[in-house]
């Protein structure tokens, strides 16, 4: 199992790197273009990782093993020039399964969590994921900062599970 896991993660990372390089080569310094390629990176990174996780999880039946595998698979993945790209995973009841930068959220039910503007963030993310995937705008604490920043998150279900995975781009 370990070599398969490592190989799938390597393939996922290589795909993400190729996407970033491709997008950066085709973008200009225009902020609108930068946002568009950052949105594409988030979307394709989430989709790619969701597909890898769904394959890795198939042979597992123990829920704790699945959660540990998910956590391990997202822990060290960072993208964007400032390393603000990372993954998070929730179940459809809004319980955080894994968070790459905020470990204190793991295991917490964030159904009633509201951002600084009053949006029920995880509820909206869960709804977008339950519809097959999509973008949600909200406020969240950017790594290394104390205040919340505007973020455009992209989420997608992990096939064969009751989980969804997301990432996003900070807009401020």
Q: 2-170: CATH homologous superfamily?
A: PAS domain (3.30.450.20)
Q: DSSP assignment of 64-131, as one string?
A: HHHHHHHHHHHHT--BSTTS-B--EEEETTSBEEEESS-GGGTT-B-TT-B-TT--BHHHHHHHHHHT
Decide if pLDDT at 123 tops 80: yes
Tally of CA atoms within 13 A in the half-sphere of 117 that contains its CB: 10
pLDDT band at 79 (very low <50, low <70, confident <90, very high): confident
> What is the reported pLDDT for 19?
58
pLDDT band at 27 (very low <50, low <70, confident <90, very high): very low
Largest CA distance in the chain: 48
Whole-structure pTM value: 0.85
**What is the rounded CA–CA span in Å between residue 25 and residue 23?**
5
pLDDT digits (tens, 9 = 90+) for 148-171: 999 999 999 999 999 999 999 999
């Amino acid at each position: 199992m370990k070599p398969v896991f490592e190989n799938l993660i390597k393939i996922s990372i290589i795909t993400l790197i190729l996407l970033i390089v491709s997008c950066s080569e085709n973008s200009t310094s225009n902020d609108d273009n930068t946002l568009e390629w950052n949105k594409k990176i988030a979307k394709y990174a989430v989709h790619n990782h969701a597909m890898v996780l769904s394959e890795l999880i198939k042979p597992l039946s123990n829920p704790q093993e699945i959660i540990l595998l998910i956590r391990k698979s997202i822990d060290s993945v960072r993208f964007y020039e400032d390393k603000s790209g990372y993954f998070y995973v929730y179940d459809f009841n809004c319980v955080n399964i894994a968070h790459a930068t905020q470990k204190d959220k793991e295991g917490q039910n964030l159904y009633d969590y509201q951002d600084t503007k009053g949006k029920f963030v995880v509820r909206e993310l869960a709804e977008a994921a339950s519809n097959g995937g999509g973008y949600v705008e909200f406020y969240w604490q950017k790594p290394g900062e104390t205040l919340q920043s505007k973020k455009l998150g992209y989420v997608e279900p992990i096939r064969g599970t009751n989980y969804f995975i997301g990432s996003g781009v900070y807009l401020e």
